[in-house]
Amino acid sequence: MNQTLIEKVRCILSQAGLSKAFWAEALSYAVHLVNRLPVSGNGGRTPLEVWSGSPVSDYDKLHVFGCPAYYHVTDSKLDPRAKKAKFMGFSKGVKGYRLWCPETSGEGGVLS
């Protein structure tokens, strides 16, 4: 399983055009995806479904790792109302996404 996740992380980072500094974000998202994919050893059910007992229903919330995303800002009346970032996954414990904005976060910093 570790090798499978490492290969997924390598592909995710390559596809998104991001550096190795984002390996933890990519790994977290890879695990999120693997837990929602059907497994033949589980009778075609997902690991999350086996663990929780209820079917997975959040497929519509999935996005491509590193895809463009916009977040709302309220700096000033005349400033733009949104800034561009990259999608990094999901925040744990809250409804929301993890985004990376190069101009405000620097290398490795992630907004939540």
Distance CA 39, CA 34 (A): 9
Distance CA 42, CA 29 (A): 21
pLDDT score, position 56: 79
pLDDT score, position 112: 56
pLDDT score, position 110: 56
CA 98 to chain centre: 7
pLDDT score, position 109: 53
pLDDT score, position 63: 93
Which regions in the chain score pLDDT beneath 70?
1, 105-112
Distance CA 7, CA 9 (A): 5
pLDDT score, position 27: 96
